[in-house]
Every structure is written in structure tokens, then in C-alpha cells.
């Protein structure tokens, strides 16, 4: 089970690597992927590419 802690390795006193539990790593990747998708959706709404008119929606539902 993950303890939520990371080990940091340094080189010449500066952070170089991080060792994480695989569960923490996978959770972090999933969160980043979700945030990227949310960003895409937000940009589509701002550009009005993500919106459908009511008539377009009705047409799409009838197909």
C-alpha cells in the first residue's frame, strides 16, 4: 500500500530524481490526463466548438 511519500535523489545538492510508489505514479499520471482533457473541453467551449444547437442535438439523437 502506498504511504504517499517520495524519495528525492540529488546531484551536487540539486534535485535530480524522484522515486515514487507505483500507485502514486499511476494516480499522478491519471490526474494529469484528466486535467489535460478538462483543458481541451474548456478550450472547445471558449472557441464554441464544443457546443451544439438544440436542433443539431435533436438531429443527432434521431440518427
Is residue 47 included in any domain, yes or no?
Answer: yes
DSSP letters, 7-58, are EEEEETTEEEEEE--HHHHHHHHHHHHHHHHHHHHHHHHHTT-S---HHHHH
Instruction: Tell me how many domains the chain contains.
Output: 1
Residue 29, domain extent = 7-62
Is residue 28 included in any domain, yes or no?
Answer: yes
Would you state the pLDDT for residue 1? 47
At 62 the three-state DSSP class reads: helix
Within 8 A by CB and 6+ apart from 20, the residues are 6, 28
Predicted confidence pLDDT, tens digits, the chain (63 residues): 456 789 999 999 999 999 999 999 999 999 999 999 999 888 877 777 667 778 887 888 886
- pTM score of the predicted model: 0.56
Is residue 27 included in any domain, yes or no?
Answer: yes
Amino acid at each position: 500500500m502506498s504511504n504517499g511519500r517520495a524519495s528525492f535523489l540529488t546531484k551536487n545538492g540539486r534535485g535530480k530524481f524522484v522515486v515514487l510508489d507505483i500507485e502514486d505514479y499511476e494516480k499522478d499520471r491519471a490526474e494529469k490526463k484528466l486535467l489535460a482533457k478538462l483543458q481541451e473541453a474548456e478550450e472547445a467551449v471558449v472557441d464554441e466548438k464544443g457546443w451544439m444547437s438544440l436542433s443539431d442535438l435533436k438531429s443527432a439523437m434521431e440518427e
